[in-house]
C-alpha cells in the first residue's frame, strides 16, 4: 500500500468532481479539452513513444492540471 502524505489523490478526485460541472476562469471548449487530456493521462492513453507506459500518478495529475489550467487562463486573457 502506498502512503500519500500530501493527499494528492484526495485533492485530485475532489477537484475532478467539481471540474465536471465547470472550471473557474476557463470556457467550455477548453474545459472539454482539458478534461479529455486528463482522462487520457489517468488511463495512460496517448503517451509519447519514449515515455513509460501506464497511468500517471495523482501527484503528476495534480501537476498537469495546475499547469494546463494556468496556461488556458493566460491564453484566454490574451
Q: Which of 1, 76, 2 is nearest to 34 (CA)?
A: 76
Residue 30 parent element (H or E): helix 28-43
Q: What confidence score (pLDDT) does residue 11 get?
A: 97
Q: What confidence score (pLDDT) does residue 2 get?
A: 82
Residue 14 — pLDDT band, cuts 50, 70, 90?
Answer: very high
Q: What confidence score (pLDDT) does residue 33 get?
A: 96
Amino acid at each position: 500500500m502506498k502512503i500519500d502524505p500530501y493527499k494528492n489523490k484526495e485533492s485530485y478526485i475532489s477537484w475532478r468532481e467539481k471540474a465536471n460541472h465547470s472550471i473557474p476562469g476557463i470556457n467550455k471548449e477548453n474545459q472539454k479539452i482539458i478534461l479529455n487530456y486528463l482522462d487520457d493521462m489517468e488511463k495512460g492513453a496517448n503517451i509519447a513513444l519514449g515515455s513509460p507506459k501506464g497511468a500517471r500518478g495523482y501527484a503528476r495529475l495534480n501537476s498537469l492540471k495546475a499547469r494546463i489550467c494556468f496556461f488556458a487562463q493566460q491564453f484566454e486573457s490574451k
